[in-house]
Amino acid sequence: MVDWKKTFAPVENLFDRLFKFAGKSISVLVAFTFMIFALGCIFGYFIAIHATAIKQEIALILLIPPVLGLIAYYYRTFAIICFILFLILILI
């Protein structure tokens, strides 16, 4: 009888290493994207505050991208979900 676990063990190990590397890379990429978006939001906020009469309460909304970036950096599953959503938004 063929032991399928032994037969496919090298392939499983390869996929495990690949997923660990890709998962960490995706989490860093998504966190970096959120941080760049946060910098853009802050820059746009300061430009808009001088050009129009924006309420000061909107500043709390600017905390959302950096917080999501930190979550994406530390939680790979959240980062992968965000990455898939980014891809869907880009393709639409």
Q: What pLDDT score does 86 carry?
A: 82
Q: What pLDDT score does 81 carry?
A: 83
Alpha helices in the chain (DSSP H): 4-51, 64-74, 76-91
State pTM to two decimals: 0.56
Q: What pLDDT score does 59 carry?
A: 67
d(Cα 6, Cα 25) in Å, to the nearest integer?
29
Domain ranges of the chain: 4-91
10-residue averages of pLDDT along the chain (92 residues): 64 71 74 83 75 66 80 80 84 86
CA 82 to chain centre: 5
